[in-house]
Structure 1
Amino acid sequence: MNFTKTTEQDSNYDHLEKMSINELLRNINTEDKSVPDAVEKEIPQIERLVEQVVKKLKNGGRLFYIGAGTSGRLGILDASECPPTFGVPFELVIGIIAGGDVAIRKAVENAEDSTIQGWIDLQEFQVSDKDVVVGIAASGTTPYVISALEKCNENNIVTGCITCNKNSPLALTAKYPIEVVVGPEFVTGSSRMKAGTAQKLVLNMITTTTMIQLGKVKGNKMVDMQLSNNKLVDRGLNMLMKELNIDKSEAEALIEKYGNVRNAINNYNQETDNGHLVN
């Protein structure tokens, strides 16, 4: 099967250093506009993976992201945003990066080239066939990620991937591959750009859709969000005021008593027997 690294092909633009600031910005933006279309083509593949994630998480499993460099950081970002957004435990969605936590801020030399460390890192979390492991690698050739997914396959663990090259070794390894082919980068080979944007969009789709399927959203509201700062408290108060037709002082009393929006709504409804969001 043919494999071409489109992520490494020459940019469609040349002599970048001779462009004005405006030209650079407009050309980057032109390239970025193609990314959502590339993601749209993969929706059937994204759906297949999300179906597996939902099934496993409903049965007590977890979702793991594993990657190196930009890809690893994007996985950690998406995983870290699930608890505050949806009120789920921190161990439900776990991001792992080659080189460990230090690699979140600084590149760790040769970390992505290890063919054993990915599986070792997963084993630290007692990964099992109850879980789903999604490898993230723009190139689709990262040894750290591919070898980890190979071991997962050997242990009957559901595997997916997000990559930006067609027919890559990673896509051929994952049981549920997602291949978002965005083409050459504006700066040749700089896959933190279009490829990174594509990966972020897909990660948003995976976790947001999964959490909605798990009942973590009511209507279109994040009723399970953690009220960890003033902005989120205000958002929660506004939800309650609108949903329950109450004033701010009543909403504040409910948040004080019940801790989050869902609990406040459900308990208010049970007490007054006039609501429509009772579970």
Structure 2
Amino acid sequence: MVWTAEQWPIGAALIQFPGRTGDGTDVADAGPIEWARVFAEVTACGFDHVDLTDTWLRPGDLTDGQREDLVRTLKDADLGVSAISVVRRSVLDPEHGETNVDYALRTVEAAAGIGTGVVCLGLHRPLTARQRDAEWFWTQPGADQQRDEASFDRAVERFSRIGRHAAGFGIQLSLEVYEDTLLGTADDALALVRAIDLPNVGLNPDIGNLIRLHRPIEDWEEVHLKTLPYANYWHIKNYYRDHDPATGAYFTVPAPAESGLISYRRAIEIALQAGFQGPICVEHYGGDGLSVSARNRDYLRGILRAKLGARR
């Protein structure tokens, strides 16, 4: 399907909503009343799609009855699902890798039942204690990652297994670019997705994950030029970034999509030229992340109107 600017699915990430209610109840067990409360906030900000981010609710762990309740609650809220994003469940986790594969397979089945066409996976591990204690988690090093040849082969095998399962349900698998993993640079991400070599497995070029690092980074435009031809889903966020050559210090904080280092006007131009037709998810860390995400959505629709109109 070729979307217009108004039709393009742009979902709200749910990273700002906790996975437990105020009394400690898991959101899954809190049920439709709690889900409807969150969805009402999403729709009040003008969204017609949501990314079911599993730090809030884990669709792959819902019972059949809970999943039916979720579908009804989404329908009542008049919300489509742009994707399910699986967060920090690496298939290469040294302790939980195979468990995470099983979880990804269940999430694919849940996606089919819910009616979304994309499941997003990554290789990033749970936050370390230092990351959880930091003002911004990306300023501290994450868990050690496996990036040797054996790990590459294992990632190919496990993602291929999930990808083939997803293909049977008509689901796209999108692999999220993330630092210090086998998806941590443009070339590494391309090597992995090319080795998997399945038509329904592509990339989520979320390079906001890279530009926020307090160290030298790849040029964002070059990363997009390489990865967007393989993209089938896209998390969009931005950061202010500065570097002091005198001290070598780097500084980054979250920014609205229109204001940070990445020019999304240029990035969307690259995406359209590459034939990108995947859903989009807007994210923002800190403050009122949902309202900033809504601002990001409106900004992106404006660019899409201009770019798509110019191509007619």
TM-score if structure 1 supplies the norm length? Answer: 0.29
More helix by share: 1
Highest CA radius of gyration, 1 or 2?
A: 1
More strand by share: 2
